[in-house]
A and B are shown apart, each in its own frame.
Chain A
Amino acid sequence: MPNAVATERTVIDGNEATASVAYRASEVIAIYPITPSSTMGELADEWAANGRANLWEQVPRVQEMQSEGGAAGAVHGAIQAGALATSFTASQGLLLYIPNLYKIAGELTPFVLHVAARTVATHALSIFGDHSDVMAVRQTGFAMLASNTPQEAHDLAAIAHAATLTSRVPFLHFFDGFRTSHELGRVELLGDDELRAMLDPDAIAAHRRRALAPEHPVVRGTAANPDTYFQAREASTPYHAACVEHVEAACARLASLTGRHYRPFERYGADDAEDVIVVMGSGVSTAATTAAYLNARGAKVAVVGVRLYRPFDAARFVAALPPTTRRIAVLDRTKEPGAVGEPLYQDVLAALAEAWPDADHLPRVIGGRYGLSSKEFTPAMVAAVFAELASPRPRRHFTVGIVDDVSHSSLSVGPPLDVFPPGVFQAIFYGLGSDGTVGANKNTIKIIGEETEADVSGYFVYDSKKAGAVTISHLRFGPAPLAAPYLIADADFIACHQFEFVERFDLLATAKPGAKVLLNCPLPPAAVWDALPREFQAIVVERGLELWVIDALAVARAAGMGGRINTVMQVGFFGISGVLPRDEAIAKIKAAIAKTYGKKGAAVVAKNQDAVDAALAEVHRIAVPTAALTERVRPPIVSARAPDFVQRVTAQMMAGRGDLLPVSAFPPDGTWPVGTTQWEKRNLAFEIPVWDPAICIQCNKCALVCPHAAIRTKLYPSDALAGAPEGFQAVPWKGDELPGGRYTVQVAPEDCTGCGVCVAVCPAKDKRNPRHKALDLAEQRPRRDAEAERYRFFLELPEVDRSLVKLDNKGSQLLQPLFEYSGACAGCGETPYLKLLTQLFGDRLIIANATGCSSIYGGNLPTTPYTTDRAGRGPAWANSLFEDNAEFGLGIRLAIDGHRAQAEALLAALAPHLGDELVAGLTGPPPSDEAGMAERRARVAALRQRLTTIDDPKARRLELLGDYLVRKSVWLVGGDGWAYDIGFGGLDHVLSTTWDVNILVLDTGVYSNTGGQQSKATPLGAAAKFAAAGKEVGKKDLGLIAMSYGHVYVAQIAFGARDAQTVRALVEADRHPGPSLVIAYSHCIAHGYDLVHGPEQQRLAVEAGVWPLYTIDPAREARGEPALHLDLGGTAKRSVRDYARNEMRFRMVEQLDPKRFERLQAEAQRDAVRRLEIYRQLAELRVAPATAAPTVPTAATTTTTTTTTVSAPTATGKEER
């Protein structure tokens, strides 16, 4: 890839604008993925894989680390050794940097860290943008530069890299996550020569001379004592004091090279304003344009934007304020509970106190919070802040952008303000994540931004689901500058790419009078109007909208593009919007197609270009009747049967009206009710499975593999069928669990995603016509209502008595899943394991969930998939962090065991009141079998009853703890990014204890949640982000590491290969009294194939030896048997290539470099053989039973008397310490 050699104009987002500078100005780049900064690391890795050089004709060393803490250490080392280094991070990742940031600053080492500022997790995680992360490092000694637009991100990145070299103060350069990091805008790129001219060669040389080197050795990082630490700490003060001048010098250099001027503080608006807003980040643009708008209408207001936040230069800040300033509103994009005010507010107050020329007449300062977690910050809100400032008694502290009906902090905000000059075209597109809408819109922006004189901006809003995610694209075109970092409120054009949305969303709320609307609709044009709900029709009529339709799916299918409607809809946009002359637009689309897809081959180009012509002919305008609207209104968001909280809060969030909910609607501590996905009928599936009981062999595999618990099996007494709706199917059960029992396989038609995995695994074929199976896919729409009614009846059928069912692959599926309809991808390979876990242990399950996909589909609002059984019991679930989940889960176990110990002690103490029989029945290890557990629960109920009659404080305490006398199953769940990388230290430590915790690793071999970056679980030879060229080394063998302890139960499972072993391993892990580790093969869309083949790929992985199925049970070793049991023998049935060739992640390497692919595949084969051989040999390893070896005391055995002890160490000669 050629370097940028001269200034060029391009349309990119803030991340790429930043990475473009950081990459070229660095020699060492340590990376770790975290949204929304991951793109910067991905680009660096991709550029390095392609051999792109930095400014010094070298390819930077790009290294992914195991955590941000690791990346911080790596760059610290690199800069100490005299390299120019950089890194990228956000949020929790930045927090993990903090210890090194102090060190790097304390050592006065040039370095730039680029941050896409993101919310730090508090009561909830959020991937969106605010300043809570960067504010947490303002004390480290780093300089902090804030940029507000993609162009500024590019320029200020260069200024940071320049100023750090000359000032020796390390820099944190940040911009608003998503808002700027993912916003597309026009950027004038610095050429290599310009960027080189920014970096002072003498300063680089000085940095090199300070490097740690044996030729001129020094010592750094000494331990100082009270006699000297303080003074030495003060010795760096002049450097920080001079930093602002270095920044100004770098700004001046940039201005001389490009004509673009920046200052540490920038004033906008009236020079004689009395009311001023001080703000930092993308909000500056909104505030500045609004100030200009207000001033043009007679106001006299100003805005001061903060660019250099640290060191905060009080004199320059005061100089940036209009001398006439009387009132200042400081806006902070963070919350600091308990502080006098938020950080910027405090800085402004202190700066004024120190530097305002008239100390007796300081301006009045008020402080407000806005925009937390990317909450909208609009011109109307800016106007509300100015109004508050101008009011007789402005509030000292306020919030803006929400309705705070609890603390009454919020300003009231007027209707939307359109602050744009005429000529700006604003368009909104509603699409699905999978339909390519976002990609097409990015393409549109590039066409207009790079090939016309218009300025452009694009911003993309996603919902929280992975399957069927709704995307809303906001595109603006017009005369420069278009800095408008907020969503469109007055649209000239609205496109809806999925017709179902007209029933779900208020699509036209933002339509300007006369706006054009384009609907993708499968109906003939004449039938469209009548199919629209009344709310939609009313707005079309009232605002005089132009309504256009196209059957994009039909056009796409006819053009051979399958279901991909993106190009068709893009043509529709250009065809009717008028943003460009139509012929010119079409020619540009075709050229863009050739450019975008050219390297992917002629077939894709031809298909897309054909679709362009076909699409134009199929856009039709609908004649809008002037009256007589339909009576049919949009259906309610949730069923009337939903609980009150769901009606009031959840449903509003589902409908996209969460912004309107007031503070009082929310729990103050982040606690949410479970079981709410059931109210969210998303109707995503085009086709759903249809059951033919005549062929069904009752294997229950369909239910086991279903990622969404949307196909279920049930065993129930025949008399329960009374009142069954028409068409409800039931057959006699073939097993002997319930004599005379009936059996039903039932689909949840509105919750099914249509992935087809159940149909793919169904083994029962019609002997006369094998194409017909016990499950076939058929169109959902005609079946929806009838099946929905049957499903409701199915749910009401009694659940089977758990103690009757055998806990195997088949029996487990007769148990109620307590994890349902999550937002996971269609065909997800992780969720079947979690669902199974809840079937096996759901009523006694506590899950500690590492951040990742499983925490997102497990706990991303508005709805939660974990639910309860009829007794109200179900999984209790919490997510702490990405890095600490094992420790978090261990803490839960410690608490539970402590509670049980207390309960037992209280039980003993109260025995005289309770009676020996009751106490005896509640003493001893809680049973782990279903019948025993049911009996124990009954006794606990009896205990509660008895306790109410006892007047003793101990009885009150026991009432709170009685439930802990029933077994609790603690599972620590997370992905491989957690278990192999960032959380490995903690996981390893937990394994080294003897506490009864179970660890389930949902191993996709990649950081799935953040978009497919490699982890140490990534298989050899696979391409992933951060390993774009294909991973060089084999997957870390986590199971073998865990086995080395000897007391850990370990299993490697893959339900697609052998579901019986999967269930057995989970049951054994749960019953193992010490720590257990279960590593579960989880297919993932990051692997690059249609997930309907997921279970089949699992089987191939196992048969190729890539994923041996085994269990390692210390109990077997204690019996003198080999601890390790290999479930499918020790030899591979097929080659690794047979497995790898089906997945794009492997094939990409071949397409990048066939020779490398051959080498990596050969190594992968060797690696598989070697691993299998290790396991085969271990499967024969018997250890002689211990001869009078002493039991080593452990935490578990010494701190409580109640924990079940782990099998004694069997190795002889182990000494007590």
Chain B
Amino acid sequence: MIDLSTTYLGLRLPHPLVVGAGPIGDDLDAVRRAEDAGAAAIGLRSLFEEQLRLEELTHDAHRGHHSAEAASYLPPVSDYVLGPDAYLEHLAKVKRAVAVPVIASLNGVTDDGWLHHAKLIADAGADALELNVYAVGGDPGEDAAAVEARLVAMVRHVVRETPIPIAVKLSPFYTALAHTARALVDAGARGLVLFNRFYQPDIDPEALDVSLRLTLSTPAELLLRLRWLALLRGRIDASLAASGGVHSGQDALKAVMAGADCVQMMSALLHHGVEHLATVRGDLASWLEEREYESLDQAKGSMSLARSPRPEAYERANYIRVLTGYARR
């Protein structure tokens, strides 16, 4: 059997396929089945800053004094588990349930209070933490430098206080993504996850409303990831993970060739079941074996900007060629 092993965030993994952050990690049974299917690591859904705040504040709001008969309308909350407790408890359970590394995730947008949850997550036993900085950058008053500086400061803060390796899950929407990536690594990030898939609001024309829905990824989304994995591979000193659009063994292979140390899967597993992971791994291994690769390592980054036979394809030339290609037809 070909050697598929890889190293991600300093964690030695038998192969690059891991369960990404999402609903599979919510269910202990699914987590166990994922491990059985061969997942190299398990990612957990994010603990959301807004969720924490909202719950704290909502509790507070519903405890008013309303009338002589009813001083309040819900039982007192003094002994209720609030904040991150439920998440941490679940994390600890997942940790006990599986032998593979568990990667927790924290999602926030401001730089106060919530960051200390990173420490609690580490204490609860996570092997690594994925920091999901979910900022849309929609404020016309904030320039690119300020957006990035805020991000870097947050990462530095978390890295300083948290003993486990930190990966930053990025969105592709930075003016100078490569520079941002390097700044994050300089701030202590051990890895970058490319990319966050935003909850993209849809429009309901009938109701004249915006509908919030989560759609599963498609392999078409992989292309954006491939380009940036290829651009960053070898040019920054950090692990890289592909996230979004990996559905098959071929997809995983491309991600590795572009430069990924680790390939996160979620949509395909939700669609086909966690057992699909074994199929992807088998296809990846067969492909490499059939073509007489010695190990996965040989293929890793082989198609990155640094090594690709046509590096310009990842930059502007690609765009021109595609356009002119269409024109000629």
Contact = CB atoms under 8 A, between A and B. Distances in A.
Interface of A: 1, 35, 39, 42, 45-46, 49-50, 127-128, 178, 433-436, 438-439, 460, 462, 464-466, 469, 471, 562, 564, 597, 599-604, 606-607, 765, 767, 770, 825, 856, 1008-1012, 1023-1025, 1028, 1084-1086, 1088-1089, 1144-1145, 1147-1148, 1150-1154
B163 to A, nearest CB: 22
A465 B67 CA distance: 7
A128 B208 CA distance: 51
Interface of B is mostly: loop
A599 B82 contact: yes
Interface string B49-69: 000110111111111111111
A174 B67 CA distance: 23
Contacts of B142: none
Contacts of B209: 770
Nearest to B62: A1088
Which 3 residue pairs across A and B have the least CB separation, nearest first? Answer: A1011-B70, A601-B56, A462-B68
Given A1144-B59, A1150-B86, A601 B69 contact: no
Interface in B133-189: none
A1025 B71 CA distance: 12
B54 to A, nearest CB: 9
Contact of B75 (A599, A603, A767, A1024): A1024
B56 A604 contact: yes
B69 A856 contact: yes
B74 A601 contact: no
A1153 B81 CA distance: 7
B78 interface: yes
B318 to A, nearest CB: 39
B79 interface: yes
Contact of B64 (A1, A45, A439, A462): A439
B80 interface: yes
B53, B73, B112, B208 — most chain A CB neighbours (10 Å): B73
Contact of B65 (A438, A562, A1012): A438
B33 interface: no
Contacts of A597: 60
Contacts of B60: 564, 597, 600, 604
Nearest to B81: A1151
19 contacts: A39-B71, A45-B75, A50-B79, A127-B68, A434-B64, A434-B66, A436-B64, A469-B68, A564-B60, A599-B77, A601-B53, A767-B208, A1008-B70, A1009-B70, A1012-B70, A1028-B75, A1147-B55, A1151-B77, A1151-B82
Given A1144-B59, A1151-B81, A433 B64 contact: yes
B309 interface: no
A1009 B69 contact: yes
A1012 B73 CA distance: 5
A976 B160 CA distance: 56
A1024 B77 CA distance: 12
Given A433-B65, A770-B208, A601 B83 contact: yes
B72 interface: yes
A1153 to B, nearest CB: 7
B67 A466 contact: yes
B113 interface: yes
A767 to B, nearest CB: 7
B67 A1151 contact: no
A277 to B, nearest CB: 29
B90 interface: yes
B201 interface: no
A1143 to B, nearest CB: 10
B79 A1085 contact: no
Given A469-B67, A599-B80, 14 more contacts: A49-B75, A433-B67, A469-B66, A469-B68, A597-B60, A599-B79, A601-B82, A602-B83, A603-B52, A604-B57, A1011-B73, A1151-B81, A1151-B85, A1154-B90
Nearest to A765: B208
A603 B85 CA distance: 15
A1152 B113 contact: no
B78 A599 contact: yes
Contacts of A601: 52-53, 55-56, 82-83
Contacts of B56: 600-604
A1145 B74 contact: yes
Nearest to B56: A601
B325 interface: no
A462 B71 CA distance: 10
Nearest to B80: A1151
Nearest to A602: B113
A825 B69 CA distance: 13
A365 B71 CA distance: 42
A436 B112 CA distance: 27
Interface string B109-135: 000110000000000000000000000
Contacts of B315: none
A1085 B75 contact: no
B36 interface: no
Given A1152-B81, A1154-B89, A606 B64 contact: no
Nearest to B203: A770
A102 B208 CA distance: 67
Interface in B22-50: none
Contacts of A1152: 79-81
B173 to A, nearest CB: 25
Contacts of A564: 60-61
A1154 B73 contact: no
Contacts of A439: 63-65
Given A597-B60, A1151-B80, A462 B53 contact: no
Nearest to B64: A434
Nearest to B65: A438
A1089 B73 CA distance: 11
Given A601-B52, A602-B113, A770-B208, A1148 B68 contact: no
Contacts of A1088: 58, 62, 73-74
Contact of A603 (B57, B72, B89): B57
A178 B77 contact: no
Contacts of A1084: 73
A46 B81 contact: no
A1144 B62 contact: yes
A134 B61 CA distance: 37
B47 to A, nearest CB: 13
Nearest to A178: B68
Contact of A46 (B52, B65, B75): B75
A603 B116 CA distance: 12
B50 to A, nearest CB: 10
A438 B70 CA distance: 13
A1150 B81 CA distance: 8
Interface string B305-321: 00000000000000000
A314 B207 CA distance: 79
B95 to A, nearest CB: 16
Nearest to A1009: B69
Nearest to B76: A46
Given A1144-B74, A1150-B86, A1011 B80 contact: no
A1152 B80 CA distance: 4
B241 to A, nearest CB: 29
A649 B86 CA distance: 56
B211 to A, nearest CB: 13
Contacts of B62: 1085, 1088, 1144
A765 to B, nearest CB: 4
Nearest to A34: B69
Contacts of A1145: 74
Which of A49, A1012, A1144 neighbours the largest number of chain B CB atoms within 10 Å of its CB? A1144
Nearest to A431: B65
A46 B208 CA distance: 46
A1144 B75 contact: no
B213 to A, nearest CB: 13
Contacts of A466: 66-67
Nearest to A764: B208
A1008 B66 CA distance: 11
